[in-house]
DNA sequence: ATGTCTGTTTCCTA
DNA sequence: GTAGGAAACAGACA
């Protein structure tokens, strides 16, 4: 699930905890902690205040601030949600979910990192350099990138369009669902070569990406209403919301891909 | 029961 | 360089 719009939704969840003091951190499954042990993670965060959460691509970054003798560069929590992760703001008496892996406890409530499959997890950066290292491989955020750079980065390498759009080092934030939606709206076949894209193709791609993200971010996920391709993904008789052609489902770049053979000619 | 599928990422080989 | 497969993981489904 979690692509840019979902993580943007999690960012709003995390805002509930901003400027609050961590009373304690409960680690129910240390496996999701990456590159840091339970003890160190808990010790580092206990009694610190969380900052306003930020997002880059599919990463959620939560800075911290200490009350006194704050280090010049305070620790930052970096969360990735893999395929099934999410963030919940719960009252203390809400029953613990089977997949609640880490719980941040505040006087006002709890922030819970919930994830069924533990494909990715939570990192702790002790200083800004470590944040930079973790995000070093990412391209510009899909919501921030400007048209010129979008075109330049996308066409920098010659490859199939869909895997290029999903490549986090090219642009950060788009996943399988977002990309299918963008390509369908821009009327471009997912298998087209980046090298063959016209300026007009690139212009449409950029504008449809922006429009799709704006709407999806508003609701905190890619909408699945009838006018969205996503809404028809799992229907038995999938038809294009625009032209009613039977949708095709194939595999591109190892990922399940939904597209309309009429709107998106090869 | 066994195999296949799934919104991610990374690592390996061709 | 890019493409393809496998792995990490857990569950649903045929």
Domains of chain A: 4-135 (3.20.190.10), 147-259 (1.10.8.50)
Quickly give A158 CA vs C2 C1' distance in Å.
8
Contact (CB, 8 A) for A90 and A127:
no
Residue (of A128, A195, A118) closest to A164 by Cα position: A195
Quickly give A4 CA vs C14 C1' distance in Å.
33
Centroid of chain to Cα A157:
23
Quickly give A255 CA vs B4 C1' distance in Å.
14
Least confident window among A69-78, A117-126, A196-205 = A69-78
Nucleotide nearest A160 (Cα, C1'): C2
pLDDT tens digit string along A34-54? 999 999 999 999 999 999 999
Residues of A annotated catalytic, as ranges:
2-3, 58, 255
Report the mean per-residue pLDDT for chain A.
95
> Quick one: what percent of chain A has pLDDT higher than 90?
95
Structure tokens at A224: 């699945």
Residue that wins the pLDDT comparison between A21 and A66: A21
A233 CB below 7 A from strand B atoms: yes
* Residue A71 clears pLDDT 90, i.e. is over it: no
């Amino acid at each position: 699930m979690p692509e840019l719009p979902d993580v943007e939704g999690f960012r709003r969840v995390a805002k509930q905890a901003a400027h609050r003091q961590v009373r304690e951190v409960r680690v129910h499954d240390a496996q999701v902690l990456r590159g840091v042990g339970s003890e160190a993670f808990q010790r580092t965060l206990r009694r610190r205040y969380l900052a306003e959460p930020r997002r880059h691509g599919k990463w959620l970054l939560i800075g911290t601030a200490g009350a006194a003798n704050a280090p010049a560069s305070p620790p930052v929590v970096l969360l990735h949600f893999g395929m099934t992760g999410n963030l919940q703001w719960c009252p203390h008496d809400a029953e613990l979910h089977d997949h609640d892996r880490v719980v941040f406890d505040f006087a006002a409530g709890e922030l819970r990192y919930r994830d069924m499959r533990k494909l990715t997890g939570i990192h702790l950066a002790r200083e800004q350099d470590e944040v930079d290292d973790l995000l070093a491989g990412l391209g510009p955020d899909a919501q921030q990138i400007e048209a010129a750079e979008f075109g330049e980065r996308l066409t920098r390498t010659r490859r199939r369009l869909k895997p290029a759009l999903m490549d986090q080092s090219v642009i950060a934030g788009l996943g399988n669902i977002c990309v299918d939606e963008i390509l369908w709206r821009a009327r471009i076949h997912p298998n087209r070569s980046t090298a063959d894209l016209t300026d007009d193709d690139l212009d449409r791609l950029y504008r449809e990406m922006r429009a799709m993200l704006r709407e999806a971010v508003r609701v905190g996920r890619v909408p699945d209403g009838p006018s969205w391709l996503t809404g028809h993904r799992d229907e038995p008789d999938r038809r294009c919301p625009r032209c009613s052609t039977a949708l095709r489902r194939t595999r591109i770049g190892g990922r399940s891909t939904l597209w309309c053979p009429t709107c998106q000619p090869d």
